[in-house]
Structure 1
Amino acid sequence: MNIEKKQVLEKWTEFTLSNDFGMSVSVLDFGGIITKIMTPDRNGNFENIVLGYSNYQDYQSNPNYFGALIGRVAGRIEGASFKLNEKTYSLAANNEDHHLHGGPSGFHQILWEVSLFQTAEEVGLTLTHKSADMDGGYPGNVEIKVTYTLNNHNQLILEYAAKSDQTTPLTLTNHAYFNLSGNLKNTVHDHQVTIDSSRFVELDTDLIPTGKLLDVADTTFDFRGGRVLSDGFNNDFEQNKIADGGYDHYFIFDHTEEYQAILQDPVSGRVMLVKTNEPGVVMYTSNGLAEGLPLAECSSRKHLGVCFETQSSPASLHHEGFPTVILNAGENYQKQTVFTFRLED
Structure 2
Amino acid sequence: MSQRADVSVTWEEWQMTPKGEVIRLFHLINARGSQLTVSDWGATLTSFKLAMPDGRLRQLVLGCDTLSDYQNQSAFLGATVGRYANRIRNAQFSIDGQVYQLEANEGTTCLHGGPHGFNNQLWKAKILENTPDPTVEFSIFSADGDQGFPGNANVSVEFSLTADDQIRIHYKATVDKPCPFNLTNHSYFNLDGVAGDVGSHVVQINADHYLPVDQANLPADAPQPVAGTPFDFRVAKPLNQDWRKVATDQRYRGFDHSFILNQDPDAPAIQVVSGDEKISMSVYTSSPAVQLYTGQYLEGTRGHNELVYQNRDGFCLETQFLPDQPNSDIAEACIVRPGEVFDHSTCFAFHY
Normalised to the residue count of structure 1, the TM-score between the two structures is 0.93
Match of 1:192 among 192, 202, 208: 202
Q: Tell me the amino acid that sits aligned with residue 279 of structure 2.
A: R
Q: Is the 8 A contact 1:211 1:315 kept in 2?
A: no
In the other structure, the counterpart of 1:53 is: 64
Q: What whole-Å deviation, never above 9, does each CA across 1:20-66 have from its counterpart, x for those lacking one? A: 00111101101011110001346442111111113332112331100
Shift of 1:7: 1.3
Distance 1:209 1:107 in 2: 24
Shift of 1:117: 2.3
Distance 1:132 1:323 in 2: 22
Q: Tell me the amino acid that sits aligned with residue 143 of structure 1.
A: N
Pick closer, same or farther for the CA change 1:169–1:286 going to 2, 3 Å: same
Match of 2:228 among 214, 218, 223: 218
Pick closer, same or farther for the CA change 1:81–1:248 going to 2, 3 Å: same
Unaligned runs of 5+ in 2: 1-6, 17-21
Q: What whole-Å deviation, never above 9, does each CA across 1:293-327 have from its counterpart, x for those lacking one? A: 34336320010101011011242222225783211
Match of 2:214 among 181, 204, 209: 204
Pick closer, same or farther for the CA change 1:253–1:292 going to 2, 3 Å: closer
Q: Tell me the amino acid that sits aligned with residue 258 of structure 2.
A: Y
Distance 2:198 2:208 in 1: 23
Distance 1:268 1:323 in 2: 41
In the other structure, the counterpart of 1:149 is: 160
Distance 1:250 1:232 in 2: 16
In the other structure, the counterpart of 1:245 is: 253
Shift of 1:215: 1.1
Match of 2:181 among 166, 170, 174: 170
Distance 1:139 1:38 in 2: 39
In the other structure, the counterpart of 2:319 is: 310
Which piece of structure 1 moves more, 40-49 or 121-130?
40-49
Shift of 1:276: 0.5
Q: Percent identity?
A: 30
Q: What whole-Å deviation, never above 9, does each CA across 1:264-294 have from its counterpart, x for those lacking one? A: 1141511111001100110110011123634
Shift of 1:118: 4.6
Give the secondary-structure state (helix, strand or coil) at the position aligned to 2:199.
coil
Q: C-alpha root-mean-square deviation of aligned residues, in Å?
A: 1.8
Q: Is the 8 A contact 1:211 1:319 kept in 2?
A: no
Give the secondary-structure state (helix, strand or coil) at the position aligned to 1:7.
strand
Q: How many residues align?
A: 339
Match of 1:5 among 7, 11, 17: 11
Shift of 1:210: 1.6
Distance 1:219 1:44 in 2: 42
1:269 and 2:278 aligned: yes
In the other structure, the counterpart of 1:103 is: 114
Distance 1:156 1:337 in 2: 8
Shift of 1:333: 1.2
Alignment of 1:41-120 (within 5 A): 41=52, 43-119=54-130
Shift of 1:338: 0.7
Shift of 1:87: 1.3
Give the secondary-structure state (helix, strand or coil) at the position aligned to 2:12.
strand
Unaligned runs of 5+ in 1: none
